[in-house]
């Protein structure tokens, strides 16, 4: 709503909204999968999200040096099947919500995310290279889950 102008408490609001949307879209994906499968054995629906509570934790800590306990508590409650960690090896492109065009900060954020992923139990895959290579790596990583 506010673009780049946000404060610490806005990140908590964003986190809560993210989980509400995630739950809503998970329900929609499950219903769509049930209709698609009909009487055949149910296949787990795929839901891709680009933000979770780890992302909210990183932003809280990176921008404000602290994180809301509510966000930390949700990290332990939510489980996911796979993380795709995008390496900052593509040129930065501006959009209304993207911050930190400089390579140094982008690398710091990347390493912050990578450190989190290394120290948790969900599988993860690093996505790097050009657009086509990145897409193929993501498709291959997700295909393993099927």
What CATH number was assigned to the domain covering residues 8-145? Answer: 3.40.50
pTM of the predicted protein model: 0.85
Query: What residues contact residue 14 under an 8 Å CB cut-off, 6+ apart?
Result: 6, 56
| Per-residue pLDDT in tens (0 to 9) along the chain, 146 residues | 545 678 999 999 999 999 999 999 999 988 888 777 765 555 677 889 999 999 999 999 999 999 999 999 999 899 899 999 999 998 888 877 678 778 999 999 999 999 999 999 999 999 999 999 999 999 999 998 87
At 59 the pLDDT is 93
At 31 the pLDDT is 87
At 1 the pLDDT is 53
At 30 the pLDDT is 86
Annotated domain spans of the chain: 8-145
At 138 the pLDDT is 96
């Amino acid at each position: 709503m506010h673009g780049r102008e946000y404060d610490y408490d806005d990140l908590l609001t964003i986190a809560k909204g993210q989980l509400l949307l995630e739950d809503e879209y998970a329900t929609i994906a499950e219903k769509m999968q049930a209709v698609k499968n009909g009487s055949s054995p149910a296949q787990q629906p795929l839901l891709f999200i680009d933000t979770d509570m780890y992302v909210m934790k990183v932003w809280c800590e990176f921008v404000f040096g602290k994180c809301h306990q509510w966000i930390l508590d949700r990290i332990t409650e939510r489980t996911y099947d796979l993380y795709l960690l995008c390496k900052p090896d593509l040129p930065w492109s501006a959009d209304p919500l993207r911050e930190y065009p400089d390579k140094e900060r982008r690398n710091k954020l990347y390493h912050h995310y990578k450190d989190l992923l290394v120290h948790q139990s969900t599988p993860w895959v690093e996505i790097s290279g050009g657009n086509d290579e990145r897409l193929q790596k993501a498709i291959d990583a997700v295909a393993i889950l099927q």
